Amino acid sequence: MTSPGSAAEAGALLPLRSGDGSFSLHSAAFGEAFHADRGAVREAVETFVRPSALGRYDAGRRLRVVELCVGTGTNTLALLQACDDHGLTLDWWGLELDPRPLQLALASDDFRRPWDAGRLQALEALATSGRLLWGDARHSLAGGLPDDLRGRVDLVWHDAFSPRRCPQLWSLEVLQQLAALLAPDGRLVTYCAAAAVRAGLQQAGLQLASIPCSDPDRWCHGTVASPVELEHDPGLRALTPMEREHLTSRAGEPYRDPDGRGEAPALLAARDLAQRQHPGISTGAWRRRWGVGTGGPTAAPQ
């Protein structure tokens, strides 16, 4: 039996200072931090803002964005800032399960410090605008967003916990729903480079590129996916032969959640089973072929 104390601990969100000194949280329930070690604000800029290439849009334009997993609102603040820098009007929808990360962040001086008052007010206004849809993002995607967003969203930012911890939000079905939101030149941007997710995005009809990174111990800072070719974008990098083969290995077996209600253990077990039938080489064989480690920063994304 779970005592009330341990249940509270299991759901605990612990504030922490990330690598660039900015505010972050650790989730006991998911066993993961909210942001990359290099820093929450740094990740927001390097992984989400820059690969979105807002310079593609003329000043004065309305930018439609769907943000999956708003959490503390760090990415949202970076987006608000970038829209101001480019003279864009933000038309934003956010999806989030838990109101506590945003509450904890807004109550923290450490969180507020890097941002000016106007930006913080804009975040607070978004949070109470009715555009932040609380609850399981699968349900919001299935029925909470307006129908007329379909095919008209410029950016989808996907920042769920990792696929092994939160497979519900990385299933083929969710990726297909997100792909259907995108405008013809829209972009889905995520920190995730897992083969299961990239292969799922491909199956959803999107083209892929990697988000380049200067750290020699890492492949990349994530993935951009779009209905159009991305290889001409100087801010992105084409997938390497190693990355392309990763998608065809057993690691490329997507997570599946046909009724949109599966729990993580069931989705993980079903994928493990499907991987055994997968015609591609094993993930181990792929790792040996390319000398990819099984631990540390050069580990293959799960």
169 near ligand SAM (CB under 6 A): yes
Distance CA 2, CA 6 (A): 6
To the nearest whole angstrom, how small is the minimum distance from the Cβ of residue 181 to ligand SAM? 16
To the nearest whole angstrom, how small is the minimum distance from the Cβ of residue 213 to ligand SAM? 18
Distance CA 8, CA 61 (A): 45
- Residue nearest to ligand SAM according to CB distances in the complex: 71
Q: For strands 89-96 and 182-190, give the pairing.
A: unpaired
20 near ligand SAM (CB under 6 A): no
Contact pick of 52, 72, 177, 223 for ligand SAM (by CB under 6 A): 72
Distance CA 20, CA 18 (A): 6
Structure tokens at 282: 């094993």
User: Considering beta carbons, is residue 111 or 219 the nearer one to ligand SAM?
Assistant: 111
User: Considering beta carbons, is residue 47 or 283 the nearer one to ligand SAM?
Assistant: 47
DSSP 47: I
Contact 57, 154 (CB under 8 A): yes
Stretch that binds ligand SAM, among 97-105, 220-228, 254-262, 265-273 (CB under 6 A): 97-105
Stretch that binds ligand SAM, among 92-100, 202-210, 256-264, 272-280 (CB under 6 A): 92-100
User: Considering beta carbons, is residue 142 or 285 the nearer one to ligand SAM?
Assistant: 142
Contact 90, 44 (CB under 8 A): no
Stretch that binds ligand SAM, among 95-103, 217-225, 245-253, 280-288 (CB under 6 A): 95-103
> How far apart, in Å, do the first and last CA atoms of the chain sit?
32
User: Considering beta carbons, is residue 54 or 247 the nearer one to ligand SAM?
Assistant: 54
Site for ligand SAM in 198-217 (CB under 6 A): none
**Half-sphere exposure at residue 150, Cβ-oriented, CA atoms within 13 angstroms:** 10
3-state class of 114 per DSSP?
coil
Contact 210, 243 (CB under 8 A): yes
Structure tokens at 137: 């993002």
User: Considering beta carbons, is residue 19 or 284 the nearer one to ligand SAM?
Assistant: 19
Nearest CA to 261 out of 167, 164, 147 is that of 167
Site for ligand SAM in 98-137 (CB under 6 A): 98, 101, 136-137
To the nearest whole angstrom, how small is the minimum distance from the Cβ of residue 169 to ligand SAM? 6
Distance CA 135, CA 144 (A): 10
Binding mask 221-260 for ligand SAM (x = CB under 6 A): ----------------------------------------
To the nearest whole angstrom, how small is the minimum distance from the Cβ of residue 185 to ligand SAM? 24
Residue 224's region, left for phi above 0, alpha for psi from -120 to 50, else beta, is beta
Binding stretches for ligand SAM (CB under 6 A): 34, 69-72, 74-75, 95-98, 101, 136-137, 159-161, 166, 168-169
